[in-house]
Structure 1
Amino acid sequence: MQDARLREAQQQIIEELGVKAELNLEHELERRLVFLMNYVKRSRVRAMVLGISGGVDSLVAACLAQRAAERLRGEGENVRFIAMRLPYGQQADAADAEACMDVIQPDERLTVDIKPATDAMVAQLVAAGQSFASAAQQDFIVGNIKARQRMVAQYAAAAAASGLVLGSDHAAEALMGFFTKFGDGAADVMPLSGLTKRQVRGLGSLMGAPDQLVYKVPTADLEDLSPLKPDEDAFGVSYEQIDDFLEGKAVSDEAAQIMLRYFAASAHKRALPATPPFTA
């Protein structure tokens, strides 16, 4: 990357998202475990809840949560971790989600099918007269409804268990805005915040997750018209380029400009709701 303005913008984003290029993974694992344990104790809750998709991000966040819960119980705290499967009907990569569950070994497992609630919402929108510009637009909007229905289910489970909802977003997704506002972006705690994708994978390997899950091709799998569409196909850049950018390494000007456009367009997702300015 040669453009000085691009390099300056890169550094500003790195600082804003709290990314560190070099990590001691053992130290980072312990640091995040202690953070999670302390947050749970301060919050005086009795559970942590997280949806398990079958991808590495939720796998790693869940492994952190299960370890934190076990340590907390060792200190006399009554805390458990609840892992939720949240398929939309028949999940294409359900075997991966179940494999993640086997790695995590959560204290409790719940499976909630979000298809009835999602389809009912879409049907009510259509019945009310809502139209869509195209089948592709409708498919995209329904994908966001799916993500928000999953969070509805997680908050319901957390409320019933006197718990907190965890999220699995990290710096690479924050840079690209690759999360649904008030969907997977809505959580009480984000234990992977500030990590690049390769750092998340490193923590997964450190905690004993198998390579086929750690290095699985990432997909949000929210759109019916393009099932299991890889994240990178949607981005136009690879996670390797995204991670290099976040770790302060050189990327092409073209890749940097793509990432900067995504970051600017998704600023509203990383902010609290806009409010009028206070006046005297």
Structure 2
Amino acid sequence: MTQQADQQQLIQSALQVKASIAPSDEINTRVEFLCSQMLETGQHGLVLGISGGVDSTVAGRLAQLAVEKARDKGFDACFYAMRLPYGDQKDEEDAQQALTFIGPDEVLAVNVKPASDAMLTSLEEGGLEFKDAAQRDFVLGNIKARQRMVAQYAVAGAKSGLVVGTDQAAEALMGFFTKYGDGACDLAPLTGLTKAQVREIGAALGAPASLVEKLPTADLESLQPQLADEEAMGVTYAEIDAFLSGQEVSEQAYTTITRTYQRTEHKRQLPKTP
């Protein structure tokens, strides 16, 4: 085994990735996981932000199926889907289409723009200076992500619920999430899945093809709305999935992925202690 292949295998194992999946089996396993976590913890709800992308669409449908399964067992359970736009979301129609497909028990809409802007203003009034507009926009993007999680945990606290995350193996590999923002959750049902596998599960669940195949975007950049994930990461999801599946990738992709994995290791760890 080459050094490159050995490194891929180590990362694949660390992120719990399987080279191939049976979508129906994964659906059953992950729905049962969400259901059992509610029963074991005594929490009566699942909370998840729905963006209109494939990850939250799939996780949302799994969550709805899980609370329905819990209710079949005689357990009072509810799924709270949240819309968390920053002002007007350009792909709001996709988010609404996702909600229609998911069929959540309840939908709550919270605009995170006032809180996000107020925090940035307070920071600047407190003396924080940015080197340029791009850095300011980057910081604001992370504030948006964390405000969304503040809202979700507020609902979870009020409704005795658990917050569901959408992180999957491709994002985990690249550290492509905001620490204590979208990276914070109680349950991560998409763990170990490549982007293509999330799409496979979405298709098996019957999600609209337009959402399953939608160009992924975190949409945190105010200066570059709808910036594609692949452009931001410098590598395609196809290359990331190939890497995670143990396939050979280009030298450029391998270098970008492994360097990013090492640089973002802190995001995948609990806080350091003495």
The TM tier, using the shorter chain, reads over 0.9
Measured in 2, the distance between the counterparts of 1:167 and 1:35 equals: 13
Paired residues, what number? 274
For 1:167-206, list aligned pairs within 5 A: 167-206=165-204
Which residue identity does 1:128 align to in structure 2?
G
Indicate the residue corresponding to 1:12 in structure 2.
10
Residue aligning to 1:34: 32
- Equivalents in 2 of 1:22, 1:56: separation in Å? 19
For the 8 Å contact 1:6–1:257, the answer to whether it is kept is no
**Which consecutive unaligned segments of at least 5 residues does structure 2 have?**
none
Aligned 1:18-97 pairs, distance under 5 A = 18-97=16-95
CA deviation profile, 1:248-270 (whole Å, cap 9, x unmatched): 11111221111001100110000
Inter-partner Cα distance in structure 2 for 1:66 and 1:113: 23
Other-structure match for 2:262: 264
Kindly provide the amino acid, as one letter, of the partner of residue 38 in structure 2.
V
Distance 1:208 1:152 in 2: 31
SS in structure 1 at match of 2:203: helix
Corresponding residue for residue 221 of structure 2: 223
TM-score (norm 1): 0.97
Other-structure match for 1:99: 97
Alignment partner for residue 129 of structure 1, among 116, 127, 130?
A: 127
* Residue from 193, 208, 212 that aligns with 1:214: 212
Q: Deviations over 1:26-67 (max 9, x none)?
A: 111111111111111101001000000110000000000000
Gaps of 5+ in 1: none
Which deviations, in whole Å up to 9, do the C-alpha atoms of 1:216-236 show, x marking residues without a partner?
A: 000000011110000000111
Aligned to 1:273: 271
Give the 5 Å matches for 1:144-183.
Answer: 144-183=142-181
CA RMSD of aligned residues (A): 0.8
Residue of structure 1 equivalent to 2:112: 114
Which letter does structure 2 place at the counterpart of 1:113?
A: N
Structure 2: distance between partners of 1:100 and 1:24 = 23
Runs of 4+ more than 3 Å apart: none
Q: Which amino acid is 2:104 matched to?
A: P
AA in 1 matched with 2:29:
R
